[in-house]
Chains A and B, each alone.
Chain A
Amino acid sequence: MNTVVMESLEPLVAGLRSDGFTVVGPTVRDGAIRFAELSHSAQLPAGRGDDQQPGHYRLTERGDELMFGFAASPDSAKRYTQPPRQALFRMRGAEVEETRSQAPRIALLGVRACDLAAIAVQDRVFLGGRHPDPAYRERREALFLIAVNCAVPGGTCFCVSMGTGPKATAGFDLALTELSAPHRFLVETGSERGAEVVAPLPHRPATGDDVTAAEEVSRVAATRMGRQVDTDNIQERLAEARDSPRWTEVASRCLACTNCTMVCPTCFCTTVEDATDFGGGQAERTEVWDSCFTLDFSEVAGSPVRGSGSARYRQWLTHKFSTWFDQFGVSGCVGCGRCITWCPTGIDVTEELGCIL
């Protein structure tokens, strides 16, 4: 793997844009770090950090030059790999026409190791089975991934427990480690495409000191996880915990608001919407994100299979940490902590697992 140092990300943003990519990266919006299109690296949230706890998210002023001094934001790469709304097809009489738009060429800047792991999980869901999704494949192939190795994990992070971070090891085109004094970026190339993008940009070879400094960033980050989970035999242990009284207890705090599933980078469940024109001659189908916390999710013959909140919470948590292995051969949780931060009542999956197992 070729490793170089860049003093600034501005040439990278400009270079990707001139290559025809829409560069998307973290920005400050609505009091949070949100993905948005970047035209300049100056739009990156320099000096901003975050404070994340169960049911709590606040931006902070770090007072330093770090552009990536924060943890997972409510947006994940899922918004781009599996958009919240996808047009499926249009039917008029006997004509069926697929209506998906061309996959946009997006360069996603600031993807964390947990989110790369989430993309690998989604690859299994949408491409690994008997019915691969060509639209997903097109979006994935058009996506240029620039990882950033986490320097400042959040209070709800537990990627070390899940074996997904904090350092990005695979699945990226480029991986950056942000270094201080002087401010610079160590850039690892993870693909031929990545190397081609870097080649014409201003850079210098990485020195031993640069590499050591970057290793230190990841080493320290790994010691600063806000949360942890004991994952030994978690698939079997959770499957056996079907009758735990904790499911009812946690359900008394769960609003079934679906926030956890919306911010989760691997939750893939969808439903469909049908629409017709006023004449009724044309019908369109759209696939939209759905959540196992809704009542109609499990509806059979007019009533839900999982009518109680405890059954729905058990379904979600058991799917993430146990039955996902049965279905896709991998954990459904990558340890990003978003479901903990964005739960309005602060339910903490790591705490629940500790009580249930």
Chain B
Amino acid sequence: MHPMTPAPYRVRSRRPDRADTVTLTLGPLEGPCPPFLPGQFTMIYAPGVGEIPISISGRARTGGYLQTIRAVGAVSGALCRTRPGDVVGVRGPYGTAWDLPAAAGLDVVVAAGGLGLAALRPVIRELVAHGSRYGRISVIVGTHTPATLLYPAELARWREAGGIDVQVSVDHPDRAWKGPVGLVTRLIDQIVFDPRRTFAFVCGPEAMMRATAARLVRRGVPARRVALSVERNMKCGVGRCGHCQLGPLLTCLDGPVLSYERAAGLLAAAEL
């Protein structure tokens, strides 16, 4: 099969998350979903409209992929408007994974900005399921307003499950908000971890990732143990269209997950 040819997947369910964001459960019309690793993405095709990369947020109990999509452009808008029963095209999973095995035995910091939580959800679920494999576990989340917080019910469950420090900061609080206010980087100073024995998973807008990674490294976390998920214009996902280059990298093949050690210099260069 040609690497650009998608397989037909049915929208099995659709859950609105926020005003502009839904989580779709996508299952292939034939056979099971191919296995995926946390951090990988699929290319989802809205027939006749276009195709975009979307992180896999987990596997549904029925076996399909959970994929959280925010309506920002023509394709994401069309995908957000799909209804259960509709058919879309799916290719993948593609790309590099969050290196969870490398975090075993270490303190873990998961830092999410906005929709970045969707790509980190499989990491948090692994940490919740196998907490004894890791040291202290902290999940810090930044979001614009309380209303734009992704997966609030799940965050509450993870917090209640115990063993994980879950903290949320908002940029713009409403009257009911009693939690921290400000950038997610400020939460780094509110959580407990041994920097020299810590692995960090960071996903969010690029400015947030750079600031978070820089703060973690300043605190003493080795840059090789800070992982980011880099966003570039992935049009094909398979290294043939050239759009997602970041210096020497084809981010669809060499990323999206990169160590800060490798990404720092590339992200610091303007317009690379």
For window 282-336 of A, CB contacts with B under 8 Å fall at 282-283, 285, 287, 290, 292, 297-302, 305-308, 311, 315, 318-319, 322-323, 326-327
Please, which residue of chain B has its CB at the minimum distance from the CB of A100?
A: B2
Q: Could you count the A-B residue pairs with CB atoms below 8 Å apart for me: how many are there?
A: 127
Please, which residue of chain B has its CB at the minimum distance from the CB of A326?
A: B248
Tell me, in angstroms, the Cα distance from A94 to B47 when the chains sit together: 10
Interface size bucket, B side? 35 or more
Partner pick for B239 among A130, A285, A326, CB 8 A cutoff? A130
Q: Does chain B have a CB within 8 A of A129?
A: yes
Q: Which residues on the A side are within 8 Å of B236 (C-beta)?
A: 270, 272
Q: Which residues on the B side are within 8 Å of A275 (C-beta)?
A: 48
A–B Cβ pairs within 8 angstroms, 12 of them: A91-B47, A96-B5, A96-B89, A98-B5, A100-B2, A270-B240, A270-B241, A274-B49, A300-B232, A306-B271, A306-B272, A327-B248
Q: Which residues on the A side are within 8 Å of B89 (C-beta)?
A: 91, 96
Known: A88-B2, A91-B47. A307 touches B235 (CB 8 A): no
Interface string of A86-108 (1 = CB under 8 A from B): 00110101111010100000000
Q: How far is the CB of A273 from chain B (nearest CB, A)?
A: 9
Number of interface residues of A (CB under 8 A): 53
Interface string of A212-254 (1 = CB under 8 A from B): 0000000000000000000000000001001000000000000
Q: Is the CB of B1 within 8 A of A125?
A: no
Partner pick for A133 among B6, B235, B240, CB 8 A cutoff? B240
Tell me, in angstroms, the Cα distance from A192 to B50 when the chains sit together: 44
Q: Is the CB of B48 within 8 A of A323?
A: no
B residues engaging A (CB < 8 A)? 1-8, 10, 29, 45, 47-51, 72-73, 87, 89, 231-233, 235-236, 238-243, 245, 247-250, 253, 269-272
Q: How far is the CB of A106 from chain B (nearest CB, A)?
A: 20
Q: Is the CB of B29 within 8 A of A94?
A: yes
Tell me, in angstroms, the Cα distance from A326 to B239 when the chains sit together: 13
Q: Does chain B have a CB within 8 A of A16?
A: no
Tell me, in angstroms, the Cα distance from A131 to B269 when the chains sit together: 30
Tell me, in angstroms, the Cα distance from A93 to B86 when the chains sit together: 9
Q: Is the CB of A135 within 8 A of B48?
A: no
Q: Which residues on the B side are within 8 Å of A327 (C-beta)?
A: 239, 248, 250
Q: Is the CB of B3 within 8 A of A274?
A: no
Q: Which residues on the B side are within 8 Å of A130 (C-beta)?
A: 238-239, 253
For window 76-133 of A, CB contacts with B under 8 Å fall at 88-89, 91, 93-96, 98, 100, 125-126, 129-133
Partner pick for A287 among B1, B4, B6, B49, CB 8 A cutoff? B4
Q: Which residues on the B side are within 8 Å of A297 (C-beta)?
A: 233, 243
Q: Which residues on the A side are within 8 Å of B243 (C-beta)?
A: 269, 271, 290, 297-298
Tell me, in angstroms, the Cα distance from A319 to B239 when the chains sit together: 14
Ranked nearest first, the 9 interchain pairs of A and B with the lowest CB-CB distance are: A269-B242, A326-B248, A283-B48, A311-B271, A276-B48, A131-B238, A283-B47, A131-B3, A323-B248
Q: Which residues on the B side are within 8 Å of A319 (C-beta)?
A: 242, 245
